[in-house]
A and B are shown apart, each in its own frame.
Chain A
Amino acid sequence: MSKLAVDFHKLSTFTSMSLPLGAIFGFYLGYMVSFYFHFLTVAFLFLFVVDLIYRFGQRRHIILRNFGIIGQGRYLLESVGPELRQYLFANDYEELPFNRSERSEVYRKAQNIDSASSFGTLLQYDAREIKLRHSMYPVSREELKPYALRLGARDGCHEFVLTRPLMISAMSYGALGEHAVRTLARGAKMAGIVMNTGEGGYPKYHLMEGCDLIFQLGTAKFGVRHDDGSLKDTALAELAAEDAIKMIEIKLSQGAKPGKGGLLPKEKITPEISELRGVPMGRDVVSPPHHKECVDAASTVAFIRHVQEVSGVPVGIKMCMGSLDEFRELLVSMKAQQIFPDYISIDGGEGGTGASPKSFMDGFGMPLLPALAGADRILKSEGIRDRMKLFAAGKLINPHRQMVAMAVGADAIYSARGFMLAMGCIQSLQCGNNTCPVGITTHDKVLQRGLVVEARCQRVKNYVELTIHDLEQELIAVGCRSYGELSRRHLFVPHDSILAEEFKVEKSA
C-alpha cells in the first residue's frame, strides 16, 4: 500500500494494548514518584474496562467490537455532525427543508425588520427558478382592491369572507404543545387571519384565543367520531355551531404522507391528548389512510355533501395530488351530482409534518406547483373553476413562492412551518420526539417554558403583516389590482423548471 493512510485496525489494536500498559506504568510512577500519578492509573483502568466492554461485552455495534475505544470517535463525531453542519459548515443556501437564507427572511419579518439586502441576488439567477414578470406600468397602491374571498355562497350555508390571503395551516394540538397553539391562535387573532385546527380532536386550546378557525376533519375523525370511526353527526353539528369555527376541512390526504393517515408518536401522547382524541396512551396513534365513507369518487362527493348539510358552514377538502386523472374523475362526479366543496386545498408533496414514514415523506405526492397548476387547468376545462376556491400549501413561507402559487391558480395561501419559524422554530427536526428545544412541538412543560405566549404572538402578527406587505408590493409591480388578476402570463418559467411540463400541456390544450 503506497497510499498515505492510517490503518485504523492496527491503531486500535495498539490502543487496546497500551491501555493496560498505561495503567501499569501509572501505577509504577504513582508508587515510586508521586501518588498524583494514580490519577493516570485510574483513568487508564477506566478506559481499559470500557475497551473490554466494547470488544467483548456487546454485540450491537460492529465498529466498537472491532476497534474498541478508538471506534467511539466515529460515533462521537457522527453525533455532533448535524449541529456542526447547521452551525458551521452548511452555507446559506444548502440546508433543507429551509435554508438559512429562507429562514432568516421569516425571522426578520417576525421581528419586524425590513428585508432590504445589498449588492445583488445570492441565487443562481440564470438557473431554473421561476421568476415573476413585472409590468412596465405598475399600479399605484391606492388602486389595489381589498382582498375578500367569499366562501360558501350557497343555500343553507353560513357564508364566510376571508379578508387576508394568508392562513395558518393544519397543526393539531398533539403535534404542537399548548403554548405553541395558543401563541399561533393569539397571533392569528391579532393579525385577523384564519387558523386551521388540524385533526387533533376538540380544539380546546385553539378556541381559547378567539381567532377564526377552520376545523379539520381527519380520517380518524378525532373529536367527532363514533367508536367504529364513522362520523358522529351530532358532535360535528355542535362543533360547527361554535362561533369561532368558520369552516370545516375534510382531510383526504396530506403532502407529507400522502396515502397514509396522520401519525402521532407515543412519546407525545399525554393523558389530555388521549382524552381529547379518544385514544389509548403508550401506543403510536395511526389514523386510517382514508375516510371510511369515501371509497370512490361518488361516495367522496356524497360525504362532502353530508358534511355540508350537517355543519351548515363552508366545507373544503384538503388533498395532496396523486394523479390528475383521479382528480378529474372526482370533479366529473361533482358535476354529475351538482355538489361542490367550497374550496379545495392542494397540499404539495413537499409539505411538512411532525412524523411520517420516511419513504412517504420523501417519495410520494406531486410537488405543489405542478399539482396546483394541473388542478386549476382541469377545473377550468371542466367549467367549474368558479364553483370553488383553491388554497395552496407546501413550503409557502416566503412572499416570492406564495406569489408564484397565486399566479398558478391559488386564491389563498396556507403555511404551517412559516408560522412555526416566525414563532421561534430553529429547524432542529425533532418534531416527532417530544424534545423540541424551543418548546413548540413538545408537551414537556420544562421545554415549553421558554415559549412565552405573550411575547411570541407579536412575532406571528409581524410575520403576517410584513409578508402581506411584500405580497402587495409584488402585486403592484406585476401591475395587478387584485390577486384574482394574476395569471400565468405573469410568470417567467425556464424550460427546465418544475412548471414547464404543465405549461406545455396547457398551451397545447
Chain B
Amino acid sequence: MKDVISWILRVVAAVILGQTLFFKFSGSEESVALFTQLEMEPYGRILIGVLELIAVILLLIPTSKAYGAVLSTGLMTGALIGHVTKLGFAGEMLSLSILAGIVFASSIALLILHRNEVPILKDLFKAEGQPEL
C-alpha cells in the first residue's frame, strides 16, 4: 500500500516537473517571458531546468526518491515564492501555481512517507532497537 501511494506521488511530481522541461529547454515564448519577469533569463531558466531534471531522475529511482523529494520541495518553494512576489496568480499563472502547489504537496507527502530515508533526518525516525552499526 505504502509502495503504491509512493509511486503515485512520485509519478505525479515527476510528470508535472518533466513536462515543463520541454518548454524551458526549447526556450518557448511563455517560459522565456516568465523568466524575464523574474530577471533570470536565460541562465536561470537553464539552471532551474537542470535542477528539475535531476529532481525527476532522483524521484524515479527507488534508492534516491527521498533525495529527489528534498530537491523538488526546494524548487517548488522557490516557484511559489516567485508566484507570491513577482508572477502573481492571474490568467495562466493560476494554473502554473496550482501545478507547483501539487508538486510541492506531493513532495512534502513523500518526505513524510519516507522520513526514515531522508538525509540527516533518517536516524531520528528509525525504529528504536535497530541502531545503525
Contact = CB atoms under 8 A, between A and B. Distances in A.
Given A34-B39, A433-B133, A39 B120 contact: no
A45 B70 CA distance: 12
A90 B70 CA distance: 37
Residue from B38, B78, B86, B128 whose CB has the most chain A CB atoms within 10 Å: B78
Contact of A35 (B39, B77, B120): B39
Number of contact residues on B: which range applies? 10 to 19
A27 B86 CA distance: 12
B74 A35 contact: no
B124 A39 contact: no
A57 B85 CA distance: 31
Contacts, number: 44
Interface in B51-82: 70, 74, 77-78, 81-82
A38 interface: yes
A113 interface: no
A432 B133 CA distance: 9
A42 B40 contact: no
Interface in A452-504: none
B121 interface: yes
Contact of B133 (A46, A54, A58, A430): A430
A39 B78 contact: yes
A50 B44 contact: no
Given A35-B40, A42-B77, A45-B77, A30 B124 contact: no
B38 A46 contact: no
Interface string B35-54: 00011100010000000000
Contacts of A54: 124
A80 to B, nearest CB: 14
Given A35-B38, A38-B81, A45-B77, A50 B120 contact: yes
Contact of A60 (B40, B78, B124, B133): B124
A38 B121 contact: no
A53 interface: yes
A31 B44 CA distance: 15
A61 interface: yes
Contact of B82 (A38, A45, A57, A64): A38
A57 B121 CA distance: 11
Nearest to B81: A38
Contacts of A53: 121, 124
A27 B81 CA distance: 9
Nearest to A33: B39
A50 B121 contact: yes
Given A35-B38, A35-B86, A36-B44, A58 B78 contact: no
A508 to B, nearest CB: 48
A38 B78 contact: yes
Contacts of A61: 124
Contact of B85 (A30, A39, A433): A30
A50 B82 CA distance: 23
B74 A36 contact: no
A45 to B, nearest CB: 6
Contacts of B38: 35
A31 B121 contact: no
B46 to A, nearest CB: 13
A72 B123 CA distance: 11
Interface of B: 38-40, 44, 70, 74, 77-78, 81-82, 85-86, 120-121, 123-124, 128, 133
Interface of A: 27, 30-31, 34-36, 38-39, 41-43, 45-46, 50, 53-54, 57-58, 60-61, 64, 72, 430, 432-433
Given A42-B74, A430-B133, 10 more contacts: A30-B81, A30-B85, A31-B85, A38-B78, A39-B78, A41-B81, A42-B78, A50-B120, A53-B121, A57-B124
16 contacts: A27-B81, A30-B81, A30-B85, A35-B44, A36-B44, A39-B78, A41-B77, A41-B81, A42-B78, A53-B124, A58-B124, A60-B123, A60-B124, A60-B128, A61-B124, A433-B133
